[in-house]
Amino acid sequence: MKISETLLLILQEKVFNMLSLKVIVVLLMCLFTNSLQCILTIPLLSATLLGTVKSIDEPLRSLFFNDTLGVLQRFMLQEPRLQWASLSLKWDVIDRVVYQRASMVPFVLVGSDETTVRVQEPFHASGDYMETVHEKFYHSVSTFGDIIGQCLSGVKPKGFLEIEKMLKVGTTLTGVGELIIDEDGTLSLRAPTNGAEYLLSLRDFSHVKEKALSSTFWWKFGFGVCALAGVAVLFWVGFRFYRRRRQEQERREFERLMGEALNATGLKDGQDNQPDNTCVICLNQPRNCVLLYCGHVCCCFRCYQALPQPRCPVCRQAIIRVVQLLTEVTS
């Protein structure tokens, strides 16, 4: 295919500024008008092409059907087998590849006006770009001795599976990759040099786009779920820290108030100048309850109910339950 002299001049002079790239895109889009459906992106010149497969050299012929011609061919011989899994206690199906072979001939994508784009390294592309033309399964025959050996070894062969896949001549193919111009002036589609996905598919561009958007949606959904989970964990950790700090502040405030009360009434070094039966909190009411399970009788029931935390004012142990006394208790 001939390229305009202006486009070749720009490429040969290696003008890489943004203005020149825009000129290249405009010229390429003009070349593809009413031909290949092309979408170009600045500045990597990544493209999505839709065209008909045409062989440059002699096409490949199917191993099983003489009238089936293609440009890509992959033959694979698999041995499906059952293998005993000791952890799950069941037989798992494992496909062992016995033999495989891949062949190709150079090919191009042809537009409606015979505009061609050569596809480079198609086996490096992902996607469903080959269709199955032959698939046959050969069951294995096992004797009684073979069955005993298989049970002891934990491996049961099921047979052999022949699979032949081809990219046929005349097939409509969608390609997503990097669009370049070779030294001889022909357009080529290759794997992107920036690490982006190189895709060949038998589906049309709308299906490829929907699949890519669906994949992007699930990635975004997973990221959103992880973000929400992270926020929830941070909130839980912060709440725990706040609650522990609040409890510590209440404990210190209670100890401060107890110390002030003891100092004000002359309660120092464990000596109590008040009557033995006086509540150590209010210093007014008699002690009328037993704190369990520490067993201290040190406060009245009203002061116990006013405690900020259910802990004994004397030993700071947790109060499990309280027994209210109906008779006067003396130490």
Q: Answer whether residue 147 shows pLDDT above 90.
A: no
pLDDT of residue 25: 46
Q: For residue 173, give the nearest of 225, 208, 136 by alpha carbon.
A: 208
pLDDT of residue 295: 84
**What is the per-residue pLDDT across 308-323, written as a single tens digit (0 to 9) for each?**
888 898 888 889 889 8
Going by pLDDT thresholds of 50, 70 and 90, the confidence category of residue 187 is: confident
Mean pLDDT score of the chain, rounded to an integer? 78
Torsion of CA 183, 184, 189, 194, to 10 degrees: 10
Amino acid at 103: S
The whole-angstrom separation of Cα 161 and Cα 226 is: 42
Torsion of CA 32, 34, 36, 42, to 10 degrees: 40
Lowest-confidence segment of 10-24, 95-109, 199-213, 221-235 by average pLDDT: 10-24
Q: In 32-179, which residue ranges form alpha helices assigned H by DSSP? A: 144-153
The whole-angstrom separation of Cα 57 and Cα 259 is: 100
Here the tokens at position 260 are 């002030």
Going by pLDDT thresholds of 50, 70 and 90, the confidence category of residue 261 is: low
The whole-angstrom separation of Cα 204 and Cα 171 is: 12
From the number of C-beta atoms within 10 Å of its C-beta (0-12, 13-18, 19+), residue 73 rates as buried
Q: Answer whether residue 278 shows pLDDT above 60.
A: yes
pLDDT of residue 231: 92
The whole-angstrom separation of Cα 299 and Cα 288 is: 7
Secondary structure, 3-state, 15-55 = CCCHHHHHHHHHHHHHHCCCCCCCCEECCCCEEEEEEEEEE
Lowest-confidence segment of 48-52, 93-97, 169-173, 248-252 by average pLDDT: 248-252
The whole-angstrom separation of Cα 275 and Cα 291 is: 20
The β-bridge partners of 75 are 101, 164
Q: What is the mean pLDDT of residues 281-297?
A: 88
65 in Cβ contact with 93 (< 8 Å): no
- Residue found under tokens 């950790």: 237
> Could you count the other beta carbons within 10 Å of the beta carbon of residue 127?
19
**What is the per-residue pLDDT across 17-34, written as a single tens digit (0 to 9) for each?**
333 443 444 445 545 444
The whole-angstrom separation of Cα 79 and Cα 139 is: 10
pLDDT of residue 265: 54
Q: Answer whether residue 81 shows pLDDT above 60.
A: yes
The whole-angstrom separation of Cα 199 and Cα 122 is: 9
Amino acid at 228: L
pTM of full prediction above 0.85: no
Going by pLDDT thresholds of 50, 70 and 90, the confidence category of residue 259 is: low
Fold of 274-331: Herpes Virus-1 (3.30.40)
Q: Answer whether residue 225 shows pLDDT above 80.
A: yes
Q: For residue 289, give the nearest of 234, 243, 329 by alpha carbon.
A: 329
The domain ranges of the chain are 5-203, 204-271, 274-331
Is 38 or 254 the better-scoring residue by pLDDT? 254
Q: For residue 99, give the nearest of 28, 6, 163 by alpha carbon.
A: 163
Q: What is the mean pLDDT of residues 62-83?
A: 92
Here the tokens at position 317 are 């142990």
β-pairing, 116-119 vs 187-190, is parallel
Q: What is the mean pLDDT of residues 66-91?
A: 90
Q: What is the mean pLDDT of residues 99-123?
A: 89
